[in-house]
Structure 1
Amino acid sequence: MNELVRKESIEEICGHRARTLELYQRAWDTMQEGYKAHAAATMVGGMRRAPHIAVDSNDRGYRQGEFMENVTRNVDRDIWQGLVMGTPIGSLMDRQELEAFKKSLEQDPPPATADNVRATLERLFGEADQIFRRGLVNAFKRLDRDYASNDGFKIGDRIVLTWGCTWDRIMGYFTLHHTREEELHDIDRVMHVLDGKPAPDRGQGLEGKMAEHTYGRGRDKGTTGESEYFRFRLFKNGNIHLWPRRQDLLDRANKIIAEHFGMVLAAGRDARESTPSYQPRPGEVLKADFFPTPDAVVAQLVAAADIEDGMKVLEPSAGEGAIVAGLVKAGANVWAYEIDPERRKGLITRFFSQFGAGGCVCADFLEREPEPAFDRVVMNPPFSRQQDIRHVLHALRFLKPGGRLVAVMSGSAENPQGRLGDHFSATLARLGGTIERLPAGSFKESGTGVTTVMVVIDAPAAMQAAA
């Protein structure tokens, strides 16, 4: 907390608050005296005329208590905003975080006393890393997924902001869209903080450099330019393209994003080898992409699977058994894969002892040879780098003709990118599969806010060829 605001400064701010409220109270009392004098001056012929300046409740003005209540609320709100926006905490917050913070102050801001200020700043300082990480993810997850470079789980070599500007062909210059200016500020803020520098003021940094190419000033500047952390180009179709200039900062940002959504450590060698920020430690247990399926989601998956007693059902990424428990309760004969040996031991103890541990295999599911022996596949695979798509396409080959697959997938499955995404979309369309978006925050209790969907695919008669 000392790095945010010195104790002496807090005492000084709270002293100003007390002085402010005292002066406003004194002003109210003075206004009351003035009102009475004003009223006395209107006494003509024994009749009192109401002054046109209304400061009394009987004359459409405030009651004293109401007046001071409103004043105190406004003073406290302004102090809290100044404390946060004027400290490093403010530079860690993205637009969404700031809007939520301001909204929380609208109705009933807490008194800006020394004890409250110290306690609040200590809490915010303790959450600073979490606030920044959440803001970093928010800054990039809003990007338009119609562009393959705007990957939902990493910042690519190019960032596309759609409808970021307007080309005025008559005047011959660009103008920036206000909403995209907010996003430009967030993106630039992230790089500054990662580089150990304070976030730029609004209109400075990337925004400022881009502004030199817009409005009347931009006629002779051309459509390309650069700031400290980005090269940029403005396009007449309204898009803005950004190219990060610092690979080291890009890698750090991508590592944070990957940790937020879960590194794909349980998704096979291809994904691990293509993740440059991942450096495994000796004896490391592969747990980073493990987000247990909440009970409400399990219930929805099991209901969609339409399981009958005795059906042979596969869970390809069993984890600690949240889905397995739901399948067993539904009367399924469950078989599972789990890459982590410790979690497999727990699964065997809870669910598979009757099979002599043979019903739960410790293996990477993507490396298993397909065996079309299951009536159902119910799964929550890893998401990053389209590993959910890889798992689902592979799992389809384990279904019997007429079987059904039900999977939780990333929200990006609604509009997947690249050749793998095209293959998934074509397969889904050919087999008549469905995608249903799960409620926002479905995995909040598991530690991630990623958007999720439920995919249901029924196997045709020739399932092996279809996948």
Structure 2
Amino acid sequence: MQNVLSLPLPAAAPSRLSPVEVWQKLLSYLLQRHYGLELNDTPFCDDIVIQEHINAGVTLADAVNFLVEKYELVRIDRRGFSGQEPSPYLRAIDILRARQATGLLRCRRNLSAHLILRTAFPYSIPDLSSLLTPGIMRLPSPAGVFAFIRTKIMQTKAELLTDHNELICSTNIERIVTGRNAALKQIEAVIHQLEEISCLTSSIGGNTAEHWAMRQGRAFDCWLMQSMDKSLPVIARNIDRSIWRDLMLKSGMLSLMDAEARNQWAKDLDEGDLPAISKANILSTFEQLHHNKQEVFERGIINVFKGLSWDYKTNNPCYFGKRIIVNSLGKYDKWGFSLNWGWRRDQLADLERMLYLLDGKTIPDNRHDVSIRFMDFVRDNPHQQVFEDELFTIRYFQKGSGHITFKRLDLVEKMNDIVAKHFPGMLPAK
């Protein structure tokens, strides 16, 4: 019989981190990564202080917000990790703060919370596996996580066209076409089956599907209840319209357009003749769009150029200068200054978009473009009159006008080169 003493001892179970250690690791990671601050330089370097905050129910987000306000910290990674990858943790916290949430909520004691975290935060975080302990770590609420996921998706869709994503993968095209055709066949079968059921119910006095399958007051408003020759073409067109809209969004072509061009494109999509979704139509359409993408982008620059006010001496009708003065940028009333929501807002966002494209950077999501940041600043600083941003400075006045000063004159020169191309002979000699 084998000696019991010779048997290998069972491996010791890995020790789980205490709540204080979890706080220290996460808080240290957040502060160092996003604000360049060491945990030892804050009151939270003391284990007793952290334990008191945990006992008092203070969340991790609250702790970060407290340190940001106490030390007047400035995000060093606002453009992302090393200026490249957007920050997942602080992005989620920003969303939760924007929704006036209380911060990070207690982790659900089930597997779904772990899966949500893995899905929403696929980035490398130190000792993440040991931190996933129910009841110890506080995770974002599902609403906050899903809001973050939607933001990431929208940001991905708004990326600038580059060499690796200009062409749509042929396998994706085949999958789209095959799925669309299969869906239409199933819809056709559903319509036929409804017609047969309607005949059956009608023959026994139970009336047709238009009466028993629809909610009261909504009769005859479902295409599935119409005849095949009427319903199937309309359904196919609606599906094709949605597919074309999704393809344009994912291709990045919409990001090259100014607001006016995007509105015109949306109108044409809803009202114009729409080519059916097929491999040949998709390839030919995007081949033409790819061929004309520089023209689309330049037209956006020209539309922004034409929309500027030329009532003042600093605005030259022939080129972009270091500063432009825009009339009716906003309005001033008893509540203070506010941005005019409409074409002026679109122009400001278009101007930022074009500068980002010329600089080869990813375009900000439209929920966080310069117009949103500008209004947030005005709301939070009612007594200020100067808004500082990465690309320009905006000085706004009670009469509603705004002075926009460019910070990147190299990008202004690139815009002027495009203006000179479309309006030869207008630019003065350098």
Matches within 5 A, 1:78-157: 78-105=242-269, 106-157=271-322
2:421 corresponding residue in structure 1: 259
Residue aligned with 1:232, SS: strand
2:397 corresponding residue in structure 1: 235
1:203 corresponding residue in structure 2: 367
TM-score of the pair, normalised by structure 1:
0.51
Q: Superposition RMSD on alpha carbons, in Å?
A: 3.0
Residue aligned with 1:147, SS: coil
Deviates more, 1:200-209 or 1:123-132: 200-209
Amino acid at match of 1:25: E
Matches within 5 A, 1:29-108: 29-40=192-203, 42=205, 51=211, 53=213, 62-105=226-269, 106-108=271-273
Alpha-carbon distance in structure 1 between the residues aligned to 2:404 and 2:220? 59
Note if contact 1:163-1:177 (Cα within 8 Å) is conserved in structure 2: no
Amino acid at match of 1:65: D
Alpha-carbon distance in structure 2 between the residues aligned to 1:107 and 1:66? 19
Residue aligned with 1:212, SS: helix
Note if contact 1:73-1:108 (Cα within 8 Å) is conserved in structure 2: no
**In the TM superposition, what whole-angstrom CA distance separates every residue of 1:176-211 from its partner, at most 9, and x where no partner exists?**
322211111211110010011233221323122212
The Cα of 1:60 is off from its aligned counterpart by: 12
Structure 2 unpaired stretches of 5+: 1-162
Alpha-carbon distance in structure 1 between the residues aligned to 2:261 and 2:208? 55
Residue aligned with 1:159, SS: strand
Q: 1:18 aligns with which of 143, 156, 181?
A: 181
Aligned length: 261
Aligned pair in 2 of structure 1 residues 250, 113: CA closer, same or farther (>3 Å)? Answer: same
Residue aligned with 2:331, SS: strand
Note if contact 2:318-2:426 (Cα within 8 Å) is conserved in structure 1: no
Alpha-carbon distance in structure 1 between the residues aligned to 2:232 and 2:272? 15
2:324 corresponding residue in structure 1: 159
The Cα of 1:99 is off from its aligned counterpart by: 2.5
1:3 corresponding residue in structure 2: 166
1:189 corresponding residue in structure 2: 353
Structure 1 unpaired stretches of 5+: 266-270, 276-467
The Cα of 1:157 is off from its aligned counterpart by: 1.4
**In the TM superposition, what whole-angstrom CA distance separates every residue of 1:130-171 from its partner, at most 9, and x where no partner exists?**
1111110111211122123232221111222321212231x3
Note if contact 2:323-2:404 (Cα within 8 Å) is conserved in structure 1: yes
Q: 2:410 aligns with which of 238, 248, 253?
A: 248
Alpha-carbon distance in structure 1 between the residues aligned to 2:210 and 2:180? 34
- Between Structure 1 and Structure 2, the one with more helix by share is 2
TM-score of the pair, normalised by structure 2:
0.55
Alpha-carbon distance in structure 2 between the residues aligned to 1:4 and 1:254? 29
Alpha-carbon distance in structure 2 between the residues aligned to 1:194 and 1:15? 38
Alpha-carbon distance in structure 2 between the residues aligned to 1:233 and 1:26? 62
The Cα of 1:74 is off from its aligned counterpart by: 1.3
Note if contact 2:385-2:396 (Cα within 8 Å) is conserved in structure 1: yes
Aligned pair in 2 of structure 1 residues 223, 19: CA closer, same or farther (>3 Å)? Answer: farther
Residue aligned with 1:51, SS: helix
Which is greater in Rg? 1
Amino acid at match of 1:125: H
